[in-house]
Amino acid sequence: MEGFKDKTRVLSPQDIKRVLYRLAHQILEKTPDSNKLALLGIQTRGVFLARRIKAIIKEIEGTDVPLGILDITLYRDDLTAIGPSPLVKETKINFSIDNKVVVLIDDVLFTGRTIRAALDEIMDFGRPQKVELVVLVDRGYRELPIRADFVGKNIPTAQTEHVEVRLEEIDKKDEVVILEKSNK
């Protein structure tokens, strides 16, 4: 990220792996009937996390949980305030979410605005029995009354800092780091 430099590494590749196994178990513990589950990953890194959780569930339960991709751009509350027109990425949910336990997956929970947008979008796709939120990192500073059901790691941060989740699939390595403003 421009103008920022790595400060601390808070999760290693091993940590991320363990955390994802725990999250998968927690999801299954709460909804033992894995046929009721549907995973929705939020673009971009939430999608990769969702894919990994799907694979872990398959390994544990042997079930192929449906997985969808959610891009929340068109539901943002700052769409016309920020400009220029933000990029719209793919949304792809090719199964019915009606009466499913939808597990929404994202990398970092911060203000909660992304999740608000995601919830609105999900409702346009159908009426799930329940929506649960799973995040790899919760860094605090919520601006809306939203909380995660399962959190990989709570990371206390200063508001001026950034939390970056890096994943093998696009960043060529697995790690979570806190970034701070560089003085340059």
Partner 1 sequence: MWDKKHIIAIKELERRHIEAIFNLARNFKELSQREIKKTPALRGKTVVNLFFENSTRTRTSFELAAKRLSADVLNFSASMSSLSKGESIVDTIKNLESYHPDIIVARVGFSASMRTFMRYTDASIINAGDGANEHPTQALLDMFTVEEAKGTLESLKVLIVGDIRHSRVARSNIFGFQKFSSSIRVCGPTTLVPYEFHKIGVEVFDDLDKALDDVDVIIMLRIQRERQESSFFPSLREYVERFSLTPGRIKKAKKGCLIMHPGPINWDIEISSALKERLHPFILHQAGNGLAVRMAVLYLAGTRRKEL
Widest distance between CA atoms in the chain:
53
Q: Is 2 in the site for partner 1 (CB under 8 A)?
A: no
List CB contacts of 124: < 8 A, sequence separation 6 or more: none
DSSP H or E stretch at residue 179: strand 175-181
Q: Which is nearer to partner 1, 115 or 135 (CB)?
A: 115
Query: Which residue bears the tokens 């939203």?
Result: 146
Q: Which is nearer to partner 1, 52 or 100 (CB)?
A: 100
Task: Determine the Cα–Cα distance for residues 126 and 50; give it in Å rounded to an integer.
Answer: 20
Task: Determine the Cα–Cα distance for residues 162 and 99; give it in Å rounded to an integer.
Answer: 37
CA angle 177, 180, 184 (to 5 degrees): 130
Q: Which is nearer to partner 1, 73 or 111 (CB)?
A: 73
By CB under 8 A, name the one of 86, 99, 147, 158 that touches partner 1. 86
Task: Determine the Cα–Cα distance for residues 16 and 155; give it in Å rounded to an integer.
Answer: 14
Q: Is 145 in the site for partner 1 (CB under 8 A)?
A: no
Q: Is 124 in the site for partner 1 (CB under 8 A)?
A: yes
Q: Is 43 in the site for partner 1 (CB under 8 A)?
A: no
Q: Which stretch binds partner 1 (CB under 8 A): 22-30, 47-55, 88-96, 168-176?
A: 88-96
Q: Which is nearer to partner 1, 80 or 183 (CB)?
A: 80
Q: Site residues (CB under 8 A) for partner 1?
A: 71, 73-75, 79-80, 83-92, 120-121, 124-126
